[in-house]
Amino acid sequence: MSYAAVKFENYIQISLQLLRRFNNQLKFDIYVRRTDSDYTKLFKKGDSIDWERVALYEAKGIKYFFVTKDEYQIYSLFVERLGEQLLESRQQLTVEESFVVLKELSQFTIHEMTVNFNIDERAVENVSNVVEGCIKELGKDPKSLINVVKLLANQPYILKHSMMVSMFSVLLAKASGMESEMNLRIVGMGGFLHDVGVSQLTFDPEDEKFLSAEQRKEMWRHPELGLQLLDNLKGVRTEVTQIILQHHEQPNGTGYPNGLRGPEIYHPAKIVAIADAFCAMISQRSFREALTVGEALSRLKELSGKFDKKLVDIFVKLMTPQKS
């Protein structure tokens, strides 16, 4: 069963993989599914997981475990913290664990998208399949996968931001008529890796309320730094690296690093630029409060010249609830 398929029921599928590393008390109940509508509580809040019992279930072929929709948020925060602990520690992250970190993050982002943004369920399901494909593709070279997760996770804001940008980029690409699975995957991957160069800066932009002129100059280098990093990783297509290099170019020529103009900018990079700006606007940052979705959409429209106008119109329409 795919991740997307379980998200609209009352129970959401989870992974126990990361929990194996830690013996914490649970802050949520865990269920197993007997039939499509019958879920039985396996562990309750306050318990630690009994791994022998889990093994018995696994031996019976039960691979999936669940939490209720109501407790999903608690589970996500818990797993996020475990993921951070794991990434900060010197323990080697296994390929399987890297997958879990990314998949859980994508599942959580999808959940947030349906709950917070009123996005059509089928559209979100499509997006989740594309993004899952991206994660698998990245995992073809296990070293690349682990490295990318580690680089992005260096700065707490970036990993979540990357996943969100990836999803909104695919959503916009689809809405603008892009159908080829390969192209969608390129957009998704570009969205996911667009800010990987930020990990190479000498400062964390999230720690700074204001950037000095020097820091701003350094910040402008993150697309090129990202490109250099990915040159060393296998399995990342040139199309993806072009997105990374060009995601801050603007059709009116005022972007960076090369001040490209409208038609010179790679189309998928224009898509990612809009998703990137939108996701940044609706997130709370160290230097300002988050905008509401409506405010962010108005802001995108006001910033004409900085983004592709046609794509902004499609995005605004996509994100504006239709009156039925």
In the complex, which residues of this chain contact Fe ion (CB under 5 A)? 195, 276
Annotate 47-100 with DSSP letters as a single string. PPP-HHHHHHHHHTT---EEEEGGGHHHHHHHHHHHHHHHHHSSSPPPHHHHHH
Shortest Cβ 146–Fe ion spacing (Å): 22
Bridge partners, residue 31, by sequence: 41, 66
Shortest Cβ 165–Fe ion spacing (Å): 6
- Quick one: 83 or 197, whose CB is closer to Fe ion? 197
Bridge partners, residue 12, by sequence: 67
- Quick one: 42 or 226, whose CB is closer to Fe ion? 226
Residues with Cβ within 8 Å of 191's Cβ and at least 6 positions away in sequence, in order, are 162, 165, 166, 167, 168, 169, 170, 243, 272, 275, 276
Shortest Cβ 126–Fe ion spacing (Å): 23
Shortest Cβ 221–Fe ion spacing (Å): 11
Residues with Cβ within 8 Å of 235's Cβ and at least 6 positions away in sequence, in order, are 137, 138, 140, 141, 144
- Quick one: 112 or 206, whose CB is closer to Fe ion? 206
Quote the strand ranges of the chain, DSSP E: 11-14, 30-35, 38-43, 65-68
Shortest Cβ 280–Fe ion spacing (Å): 6
Shortest Cβ 116–Fe ion spacing (Å): 19
- Quick one: 43 or 168, whose CB is closer to Fe ion? 168
- Quick one: 62 or 303, whose CB is closer to Fe ion? 303
- Quick one: 111 or 222, whose CB is closer to Fe ion? 222
Torsion-angle region of 288 (φ positive above 0: left; ψ -120 to 50: alpha; else: beta):
beta
